Amino acid sequence: MHYGFIKAAAASPMLKVADCKYNCDNIIKTMDYAYKRGVNILVFPELNITGYTCDDLFAQKLLLDQARISLLELADKTSGIDMLSIVGLPLEVDGFLYNAAAVLCNGEILGIVPKTYIPNYNEFYEARRFSEAPKNTIYLDLEGKQIPFGTKLIFQNLQMEEFTLAVEICEDLFVPVSPSSEHAMNGAMIIANLSASNEILGKSEYRKTLVKAQSGKCFSAYIYSNSSYSESTTDIVFSGHKMIAENGVILAEEPPFGKE
């Protein structure tokens, strides 16, 4: 962070569906690459620790356990690294399975944000597996540490008070009133969106319009990271379309099927 500027990045490294070890290794490599280039905020796609297209494998305890182990490993790997990284994973809490995003920095899990809106139409059937986010913030015990879990979390850098970040996940952007609208009204200046938005004719331009409009309405920066084409293993195709916008203007974009 220099002169009030923050260097942000969206990344969608290659993954193997349901292979947490492979995915975790690639996430660590990407974190290292970004940190060496001065990145302050690094946003990964939705469910990128396991892959989004695991379908009924999300009901397997082995996969959920491996995802949690990978999360703890990723948090440990950020020790001594002053960079905020946001990763996606399935997380079971009190018997409910959530599509969640974990915010990591300097060896700590700062908080975990569950997805608010669960799409269950057309090619999406997430409600078969995932629950909607709980209304109130609770605390999870992970390795003896109390981690806040909820949709109302806003993360602030005490060395730079304007650095206030909130998280939403994919469909949360596509609904009439996004969680990020409330986040912005409560002081969030940066919104991170972990997404697994598939490709159909015209959808990339629609996504771009949404990101521009939401960053403009919220008077904020908006970092949008989408699943790469390595997720294209079932009946839908992904492209790795990534964008960073600020106050209604696209500052950077990786077009569909561009670099990872």
Catalytic residues: 46, 115, 170
Query: Which residues lie below 8 Å from residue 37, measured CB to CB, with a gap of 6+?
Result: 7
Tokens of 8: 């942000």
Q: Which of 174, 180, 179 is nearest to 206 (CA)?
A: 174
Q: Which of 91, 172, 101 is nearest to 129 (CA)?
A: 91
Query: Which residues lie below 8 Å from residue 209, measured CB to CB, with a gap of 6+?
Result: none
Q: Which residues pair with 146 in a beta bridge?
A: 141
Neighbours of 148 (CB within 10 A): 17
* Cα gap 95→19, rounded to integer Å: 23
Would the CA dihedral through 6, 117, 26, 254 be positive or negative? negative
DSSP character at residue 205: H
